[in-house]
């Protein structure tokens, strides 16, 4: 196996498509958003590429007894009355610094081969506390992209996120810019402790406005309700614990 192998599962003609990336990260915001997008637009979507890499964990996942080698997938989506999409999903990011560069480059190669020159990287930005109002924070490769995003409700803040954007989302902007992509990162605010379907919805609502598609949110809202129940139980436990001991953030990290 080479460092990287790209399987061409199907070929489709797309008109000036936009790459939308949703790999796992903070609060699983990006992956929840991208997977919901694919579920809701299932009728219009086609799996076009599988990307295998020695940079992924050496692993197969098992469903009903059948093994699937870890990979990233790119679906082509022909949205009626909207922009064509290339949606990038997967179970893993790269396992090394070097691997992040290799995979982000490969994703851009595929996007270019379909004629894409714009991209949206979806993710979460951790706030450290439970959230009432879900703001979406933006970062772009060119100042000219800011105004239309602000019109869609995206917030741009001085020096935020403070530590920059790390991993594939960051590199899709950084390496994308060097290759002439207009790239935007949309980061839904999220506590950072829990899988966060509400934050994913906030990000998708911005994307709807920017790219001209419309989604039903019933399934995502159901998952949000399930999380509400979990949060409720955690808060109960916390109150009980506070009468006994100091609770820690680790108690509620990534339950979903």
Q: Which residues bind its own copies (CB under 8 A)?
A: 1, 5, 52, 54-70, 94-98, 100-102, 104-105, 138-143, 146, 156-161, 164-168, 170-171, 173-175, 177-178, 183, 185
- Residue 251 · residue 234 · CB < 8 Å: yes
Q: Which is nearer to its own copies, 20 or 168 (CB)?
A: 168
Q: Which is nearer to its own copies, 19 or 175 (CB)?
A: 175
Angle at 91 between CA 231 and CA 174, to 5 degrees: 100
Encoded tokens for 45: 């979507």
Give min distance, CB of 71 to its own copies, in A. 9
User: How far is Cα 131 from Cα 125, in angstroms, rounded to an integer?
Assistant: 12
Give min distance, CB of 171 to its own copies, in A. 5
* Residue carrying structure tokens 């598609």: 213
Q: Which is nearer to its own copies, 92 or 219 (CB)?
A: 92
Give min distance, CB of 44 to its own copies, in A. 28
Alpha helices in 179-247 (DSSP H): 197-211, 218-242
Give min distance, CB of 77 to its own copies, in A. 25
Give min distance, CB of 245 to its own copies, in A. 17
HSE of 47 in the Cβ direction (CA atoms, 13 Å)?
12
Helix (H, G, I), strand (E, B) or coil at 47: strand
Q: Which is nearer to its own copies, 44 or 127 (CB)?
A: 127
Give min distance, CB of 10 to its own copies, in A. 17
Q: Which is nearer to its own copies, 157 or 233 (CB)?
A: 157
Least Cα distance to 32 among 113, 105, 124 occurs for 124
Q: How many CB atoms lie within 10 A of CB 215?
A: 18
Cis status of the peptide bond prior to 65, with omega within 30 of 0: no
Q: Which is nearer to its own copies, 128 or 163 (CB)?
A: 163
Encoded tokens for 50: 């599988």
């Amino acid at each position: 196996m080479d460092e990287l192998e790209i399987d061409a599962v199907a070929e489709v003609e797309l008109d000036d498509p936009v790459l939308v990336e949703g790999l796992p990260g903070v609060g699983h915001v990006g992956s929840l958003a991208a997977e919901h997008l694919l579920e809701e637009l299932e009728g219009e979507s086609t799996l076009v590429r599988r990307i295998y890499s020695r940079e992924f964990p050496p692993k197969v996942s098992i469903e009903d007894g059948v093994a699937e080698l870890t990979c990233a997938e790119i679906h082509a989506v022909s949205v009626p009355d909207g922009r064509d999409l290339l949606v990038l999903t997967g179970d893993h990011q790269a396992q090394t610094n070097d691997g992040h560069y290799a995979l982000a480059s490969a994703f851009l190669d595929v996007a270019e081969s379909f004629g894409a020159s714009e991209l949206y990287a979806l993710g979460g930005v951790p706030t450290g506390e439970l959230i009432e109002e879900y703001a979406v924070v933006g970062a772009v490769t060119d100042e000219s992209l800011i105004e239309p995003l602000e019109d869609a409700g995206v917030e741009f803040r001085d020096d935020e996120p403070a530590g920059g954007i790390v991993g594939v989302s960051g590199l899709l902007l950084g390496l994308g810019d060097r290759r002439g992509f207009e790239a935007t990162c949309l980061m839904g605010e999220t506590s950072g402790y829990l899988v966060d379907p509400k934050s994913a919805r906030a990000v998708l609502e911005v994307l709807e406005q920017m790219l001209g598609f419309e989604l039903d949110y019933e399934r995502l809202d159901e998952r949000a309700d399930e999380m509400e129940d979990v949060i409720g139980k955690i808060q109960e436990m916390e109150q009980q614990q506070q009468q006994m001991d100091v609770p820690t953030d680790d108690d509620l990290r990534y339950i979903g």
